[in-house]
Amino acid sequence: MNPFNDIAIEVTDITAPVNDLTDNVKAILFEINALQEGFVNNSQSGIIDLRTLPMLPGEYNMLKQILGEGEVNATLNTLGSSHIMETALTGVWWVTHDDENNERLAEFIEVTEIPDILKSNKNETEMAYTVLKQQLESY
């Protein structure tokens, strides 16, 4: 239970409309664009840690609105839930990690082919292979 979620709060969007970007959002978009350049030209992945950037809820929503939602939306259920969503910009991922109380642990924008946390671990894959093989042998 997160007691703060129980408090009724109306968040007023004090920022300007999307066609008039605030300085904080503009700075992040430039950073994303720089990471895209690195990925397109040198296959260099990059991450932005949103938790370390100064943003108001209004600006946060503005950034989400601008980046939009793409085709992939994955949920990871370990240590609470994590959401890995590709934005409308291909190769730009919005990754959120929450704990068991739905409190935000970390939030990243990743510019990459696919975030590492989605990839299957080699050791665990080998274990899975063995498990299924043993099951099949038991039938």
Show the CA angle centred on residue 60, arms to residues 58 and 63, nearest 5°: 110
Nearer to another protein, 38 or 68 (CB): 38
Task: Determine if 126 is a binding residue for another protein (CB under 8 A).
Answer: no
- With tokens 């949103």, the residue in question is 50
Mask 41-60, x = binds another protein (CB under 8 A)?
Answer: -----xxxx-xxxxxx--x-
Q: Are 109 and 89 in contact (CB under 8 A)?
A: no
Cα distance between residue 82 and residue 79, in whole Å: 9
**Least gap, CB of 86 to another protein (angstroms):** 18
Mask 10-39, x = binds another protein (CB under 8 A)?
Answer: ----x-------xxx---------------
Q: Are 96 and 82 in contact (CB under 8 A)?
A: yes
Nearer to another protein, 16 or 132 (CB): 16
Cα distance between residue 29 and residue 24, in whole Å: 9
Task: Give the binding site for another protein (CB under 8 A).
Answer: 2, 4, 14, 22-24, 46-49, 51-56, 59, 76, 78-79, 82, 97, 99-101, 103-108, 110, 116-117, 121, 123-124
